[in-house]
Amino acid sequence: MEKDLARIALFAALIAILGVIPKIALGFGVPITAQSLGVMLAGAVLGARRGGLAVLLFVFAVALGLPLLAGGRGGPGVFVGPSTGFIIGFPVAAFVTGLVVERLRMVPPAISAGLGAFIGGILVMYAFGTVGMAIVLKKSLVEAALLNTAYIPGDLLKAGLTGMLIAAVAKLRPEMLSWYRASGQRI
């Protein structure tokens, strides 16, 4: 119980610093933040329930006004801004990512985590983000989806990174991944 709580809180802090530290330019030239990588990792490491709760805690802290969102944003203002859909979708994205890794136990962790990040962190996240943008900017869903396409390559990359990072965790510290240990797999 206490350990779960601490992991949830510290992962929320990790997501925060992945967005706040500008130096993680990920080395691809494009100024994409690592914050959505943090959301994917939360689901993939902690699993659906705890991963979702970690991201929910993060979003809650943002709503209260802590400047934890990429670019130092925070406060209720972000929930009426154009990216509100993405922020509301964050916890769901982590939950779905966790759900996928928990269900796909027969495949290597790199693939289940990468696939989870793709389904949760991209498909689910963009569904929320597009609806949010359509409402705030008064566009149709298709037009809003078009405005979002610029970020998809970066997020595909992050889904791939999630797979690689989780594979490394599974090799180095398998006990960190509760869903992985439960499956009885060992490399």
Nearest CA among 32, 52, 40, 54 for reference residue 160: 40
Task: State the nearest-atom distance from the C-beta of 54 to another protein, in Å.
Answer: 9
Task: Indicate the length of the chain as a whole number.
Answer: 187
Q: Name the residue nearer to another protein (CB basis): 54 or 96.
A: 54
Given phi > 0 = left and psi -120 to 50 = alpha, else beta, which region is 14? alpha
Distance CA 101, CA 117 (A): 9
Please identify which residue in 104, 127, 136, 156 interacts with another protein, judged by CB under 8 A: 136
By the rule CB under 8 A, 182 interacts with another protein: no
Distance CA 114, CA 156 (A): 9
In the region spanning residues 92 to 111, those forming contacts with another protein, defined by CB under 8 A, are none
Q: Name the residue nearer to another protein (CB basis): 34 or 106.
A: 34
Distance CA 6, CA 78 (A): 27
Binding interface with another protein (CB under 8 A) = 1-14, 16-18, 20-21, 23-27, 34, 37, 41, 45, 57-58, 60-61, 64-68, 71-82, 136-139, 147, 161, 165, 168-169, 172-173, 176
